[in-house]
Amino acid sequence: MKTVLTAVCLATVCGQLIAADWLQFRGPGGTGISPEANLPVQLDAKSVTWKINLPGRGLSSPVIVGDKIFVTACSSTEQDRLHVLCFSAKDGAKLWERQFWATGRTMAHPKTSVAANTPCSDGKRLFCLFSSNDLLCLDLDGNVLWLRGLTRDYPNASNSLGMAASPIVVGDTLVVPVENDSESFSAGIDVATGANRWKRDRPKLACWATPVAVPDAKSGQPLVVLQSGPGLSVVDARTGQEAWYFTDGASTMSSSVFAGGVLYVPSKGMAAMKPGAAGVHPETVWHNNQLSPATASPVVLGDKLFTLNSAGILSAADLKDGKRLWQLRTTGPHSATPVGFGKHLYLVNEKGLVQVVDTSAPEGAVVSTLDLKDTFIGTPSIGAGALFIRSDKALVKLGGS
């Protein structure tokens, strides 16, 4: 975690032309913010560098490692064919594809699909989780390293609406949230072998929020924030042992974000807290009940926190005290979490309208839009100097060369 944060800070401070990997849901450190600079702001039809068809549905975000883009998808009427695809970031050429059959249940709400969870990478391996709780590990060339069927292992671990929380890598442990109404758990899995390091029972409650890595306030050791309706359980990434907790409730949809040493939690609005340590409670920084996000997760950019509500209102709040600074009406509905760079945020609504927001404008301002005329539920990714967005049908590159 420290390494990632340092890399982000260094990139922001020192470089304007840094190409950064986007290794998980919401990219570096799960912040949604890229250190890259030369990304398109004034969007028009020419901003679409390439668009390629995908073999199946999905709302998982692309993962970007160097010049490779990794995407998951599902196909067949039962959505029981799982696809892992690798494309060239430059020209969209397919470099390889592997298919697998789902070993778990594939039922999902029509708005989502089995390829809902965003994969993650440690830079050498790709970890793909699907709503069927199939967990696949491949190297970046498509060689299979290990396979798990988590519903196969734990038969009541599933959600008839569909699972969507994404795994994250912390050190050499893959943290996998499998939180649902029945056999609910999160697990820490050895990245090398696929074996469990730990498995923790979690509240019996469907949850779609993705874990976040934070440092232990005393030791600096990596901890993982496991979020659910009752609140947070923050555990040691390698052992799964609980270090500290928060019991004032949390969203089961939008995920927390950690930035600048503060954890921002969707909890009865937004709660900002300095993370605790083993046996030490977190320190509340502020709470604002007017900043409730809907499906999209909060984002920290510069000195502001941003949330999107169900009416498409983008709220900007002061990071220091949580005071709402301005509200901007955008065109919704939004399922995707905003991502950004510099002073700009990209918002992609469900109908495919990409909106670029200048967050430095006094009341925020949409400075350009581009209608991609397709349904986009998944969160975009930034890397290789471009924005990558996927629909059920296609992967689109905006900007870059």
Partner 1 sequence: MPVVTGSGFANLLPMKPLSLILLGTTLALSAHADFKSDIAAIHQVGAEGKGNPPAAAAWKNLAKADAKSLVPLLTAMDDANDLAANYLRSAVDAIADRELAAGRKLPQSDLEKFLAEKQHNPRARRLAYELIARVSPATGEKLLPTFANDPSVELRRDAVQQLIDAADKALAAQDKVGATKGFSNALTYARDEAQIKKVAGELRNLGETVDLPKHFGFLTHWKLLGAFDNTKLVGFDTAYAPEKAVDLTATYDGKLDKARWVDTATPHDYGMVDFNRAFGDLKGVTGYAFTEFNAAAAGPAELRLGCKNGWKVWFNGALLFGRDEYHRGARIDQYRLPVTLKAGKNTILVKACQNEEVKDWTKEWEFQLRVCDASGTAILAKDRPATPKGPATAKADSKKGSK
Footprint of partner 1 on this chain (CB under 8 A)?
76-77, 96-101, 103, 105, 107, 109, 136, 142-149, 152-153, 155-156, 158-161, 180-182, 189-190, 193-196, 204, 206
What is each CA distance from 188 to 173, 236, 313, in whole angstroms?
Answer: 6, 10, 36
Which of 189/271 has CB closer to partner 1? 189
Q: What CA–CA distance (Å, rounded) separates 35 from 50?
A: 23
The CA-atom distances, in angstroms, between 281 and each of 186, 216, 242, 247, 322 are 22, 11, 12, 11, 20
Q: Give the shortest CB-113-to-partner 1 separation in angstroms.
A: 14
Q: Which is nearer to partner 1, 109 or 218 (CB)?
A: 109
CB of 152 to partner 1, least distance (A): 7
Q: How far is the CB of 159 from partner 1 (least distance, A)?
A: 6
Closest approach, Cβ 81 to partner 1, in A, equals 9
Tokens 């990478």 sit on residue: 121
Q: Which of 66, 155 has the CB closer to partner 1?
A: 155
Cβ distance to partner 1 smaller for residue 108 or 308: 108
Nearer CB in complex with partner 1: 163/354: 163
| 122 or 318: CB nearest partner 1 | 122
Distance of closest approach, residue 313 Cβ to partner 1, in angstroms: 25
Q: How far is CA 201 from the centre of its chain?
A: 23
Q: What are phi and psi of 371, to 5 degrees?
A: -95, 110
Minimal distance in Å, beta carbon 74 to partner 1? Answer: 14
Residues 360, 321 contacting (CB under 8 angstroms): no
Give the residue with the Cβ less far from partner 1, 197 or 397. 197
Min dist CB 334 to partner 1, Å, is 23
Question: Hunting for tokens 């927390």 — which residue is that?
Answer: 256
In angstroms, what is the minimal distance from the CB of 83 to partner 1? 10
Q: How far is 198 from 237, CA to CA, in rounded Å?
A: 9
Separation CA 20–CA 6 (nearest Å) = 13
Our CB check for partner 1 shows the closer of 26 and 238 to be 238
Smallest distance from the beta carbon of 116 to partner 1, in angstroms? 14
Beta carbon of residue 245, minimum distance to partner 1 (angstroms, whole number): 24
Residue 53, judged by CB atoms within 10 A of its CB (0-12, 13-18, 19+), counts as exposed
Beta bridge partners of 6: none
Q: Are 324 and 317 in contact (CB under 8 A)?
A: yes
Nearer to partner 1, 147 or 367 (CB): 147
For partner 1, the closer of residues 181 and 248 by Cβ is 181
